[in-house]
Amino acid sequence: MDAPSAPSRTELGKARDAIAAFLIEKDIPAQIADGDTQAKRDIDVELVFPDMCFRPSTLSIPSTHPAAAAYETVRKEIMELIDQTLQDKWCGLSLHLLGLVKERSDPTVVVYLLPYTVADWGGLAALIQGLLPPGESINVEFLPGSFAFTLDGR
């Protein structure tokens, strides 16, 4: 199976313009704007190709992986930091291999968040990484939603 390909910039521009014109023709911006005359003229169209978006997999990490031992030494401190920063806006914390396939995945502290949570993600990631033992190469990611475990890995 061939990898999906995106249309050219010119094709995307024409598609965006056509969609915007259609929405304006149907008076959709006016329905959304609720009296804002500038918003009635402005509409932003974003085209997304889901098959081409990065959707990482959270894969199990063996207990013998060096990152597992490093994570366990600071897990409690990470939880305390997340509690102080996010309060009740997070719903899980775990160490996973994160990537598209296990062979090319990196050890990653994954913080699961409630949807629409807003925070200084770069700053919080830096604070979490600062708790890890020096020399450890462990990433930090924040993912919205909860997680479920399945027996067949799907």
Q: What confidence tens digit (pLDDT) does each residue in 51-90 have?
A: 666 667 888 999 999 999 999 999 999 999 999 999 999 9
Distance of alpha carbon 24 from the chain centroid = 31
Each residue's pLDDT tens digit, 17-55: 888 888 888 877 655 555 555 555 567 787 776 666 666
Contact 57, 50 (CB under 8 A): no
Q: What are the residue ranges of helices labelled H in the chain?
A: 9-25, 28-33, 37-41, 66-86, 121-131
Mean pLDDT of 141-145: 85
Q: If you average pLDDT over residues 136-143, what whole number do you get?
A: 91
pTM for this predicted structure: 0.61
Report pLDDT for 30: 59
Two tokens, residue 20: 């915007």
CB atoms within 10 A of CB 102: 11
Convert the pLDDT of each residue in 84-128 to its tens digit.
999 999 999 999 998 877 888 899 999 999 988 889 999 999 999
